[in-house]
Chains A and B, each alone.
Chain A
Amino acid sequence: MSTKGRYMFAVATGLESSDLEGQDGLDGNPLDVVEHRGLQAVVCDVDLDEFGEEPVRQNLEQLAWVERVARTHDSVVRAVAARATVAPLRLITVCLDDESVVRRLEQWETPLRAALERIEGCREWSVKAYAGALTSDPPDGAEALVTTGTAYLRRKRQQSDRRQQVDREAAETAEALHVALAGRSRASRLLAPQDPQLTGRRDRMILNGAYLVALGDEPTFQAAVDDLAERHPDASLEVAGPWAPYSFAVLEIPDDS
């Protein structure tokens, strides 16, 4: 028989034992709650043949494996978030047994409570902005036949100048959007923009922001998004969520600068 470990998905408060019914952990294993002074670690059994140090290193090389674990991780976190305040743990946090899980809860009790307090009653919203009309594509007719080296170089220079100007404008728009949205949320974070092949869009992502919004403030936040969409018709906004507060569940003091 292979050795088992305990995979930790998240730490929650206020979770009832019936809340996790119908939600499996990894590999179809049932979820369990390991509790220490009201802090609840949501865990499931995993096989150390799969989640031990060496196997994990190899498995991380396989995107299909990473995807399966990531999707299950997120689905468990979502299920918990729907019922209780939850601080998601980073992917693949594995302890050897429940005693070890409890030791982690003991060791990190104070910062865990602080983190949970910060995100209580809030959800994370993702707002992405795309360059939309702010593209550096050459205007129609600019692709005229280039016959001389000088003309070629001149065109290159013009394209480069235009690209720089467009980049500047996009950066200004992104900043304006982010500042406005940050003003309507408890906390905010900037994530790296995703590349066009992954977004499936031709226009460039200029803002990938995460915003922690209190439930009661969601209508104002949405109104702010509507307002911004109207005031920046050249950018195209995309709202996604709610997410569990991944981007705000941190043990150190958040850096919102």
Chain B
Amino acid sequence: MSDITPTAGRGYSPARDAGGGPAPANLADILERVLDKGIIIAGDIQVNLLDIELLTIRIRLLVVSVDKAQEMGIDWWRHDAGLTSSKRELENENEELRARIAELESSSGSQRSRARKRS
């Protein structure tokens, strides 16, 4: 029977630790398959696996908060083109809104001060 030997070949590295048979697969690799793939048939017990999104699992594996994770550079979701571009749009929009608010505040502020002067 033909077989691919993951440890063979030039230019790419083995996925498994060397020595003594196949090492147990990486937990993240298992979870992304057993939680996210496979045949979905509703059993008698209602289970909502959406409750544990992979991201949450990943973060929990690290036992750190999302903020801490970002600090540590775990920010792959930020590299997602869709997320990033919409984030940029939001940032631009925020900036514009902030500028507009500042403008309105300063003009209403001067109106108020004018009103105070009149009274």
Residues of A at the B interface (CB closer than 8 Å) are 5, 8, 10-11, 48, 51-53, 56-57, 60-61, 63, 66-67, 70-71, 73-74, 87-96, 100, 104, 108, 112, 115, 125-126, 128, 167, 171, 191-199, 204-205, 215-216, 218-219, 221-222, 225-226, 229-230, 233, 236-243, 246-247, 249-251
A63 CA to B76 CA, complexed, in Å: 22
- Can you list 12 A-B pairs with a CB-CB distance of less than 8 A? A53-B47, A70-B31, A89-B40, A108-B41, A126-B15, A219-B4, A222-B8, A226-B11, A236-B11, A239-B9, A241-B6, A246-B38
Q: Tell me whether B18 is interfacial, beta carbon within 8 Å.
A: no
> Interface size of B by Cβ–Cβ distance < 8 Å?
56
Q: Do A66 and B44 touch (CB < 8 A)?
A: no
A8, A195, A219: residue with the most chain B Cβ atoms closer than 10 Å: A195
**Do B45 and A91 touch (CB < 8 A)?**
no
Q: Is the CB of B33 within 8 A of A246?
A: yes
Which stretch of B20-28, B91-99, B102-110 is in the interface? Answer: B20-28
Q: A68 vs B58: C-alpha distance in the bound complex, in angstroms?
A: 16
Q: Are B9 and A225 in contact (CB under 8 A)?
A: yes
> Hey, which chain A residues are within 8 Å of B39, CB to CB?
10-11, 87-90, 112, 115, 249-251
Q: What are the residues of chain A within 8 A of B73 when measuring CB–CB?
A: 196
A225 and B1 CA atoms in complex are apart in Å by 19
Q: How far is the CA of A74 from the CA of B25 in the complex (A)?
A: 10
Report which of B10, B13, B46, B52 forms a contact with A66, defined as CB distance below 8 A.
Answer: B52
User: Given the known A-B contacts A221-B4, A225-B12, A233-B11, are A70 and B51 also in contact in the complex, defined by CB atoms under 8 Å?
Assistant: no
Sample of 5 further A-B pairs with CB below 8 A, known A197-B72, A197-B74, A222-B5: A57-B48, A60-B52, A90-B38, A171-B81, A249-B37
Least Cβ distance of A256 to chain B in Å? 14
In the bound assembly, the distance between CA atoms of A205 and B15 in angstroms comes to 13
Write the chain B residue with the least CB distance to A206: B79
Pairwise interchain contact A56-B9, C-beta atoms closer than 8 A: no
Q: Complex formed: what's the CA distance from A74 to B37 in Å?
A: 12
| Pair A74/B4 contact, Cβ less than 8 Å | no
Indicate whether B35 reaches chain A with its CB closer than 8 angstroms: yes
Query: B45, A94: Cβ atoms under 8 Å?
Result: yes
Task: Contact check, B10 vs A230: say whether CB atoms are below 8 A apart.
Answer: yes
CA distance A74 to B30 in the complex (A): 7
Query: Nearest Cβ in chain A — how far from B69, in angstroms?
Result: 8
- The reply on B115 being an interface residue by CB < 8 A is no
Q: How far is A128 from B56 in the complex, measured between Cα atoms in Å?
A: 21
Most chain B CB inside 10 Å of its own CB: which residue of A73, A94, A198, A251: A198
Q: Give chain B nearest CB distance to A44 CB in angstroms.
A: 13
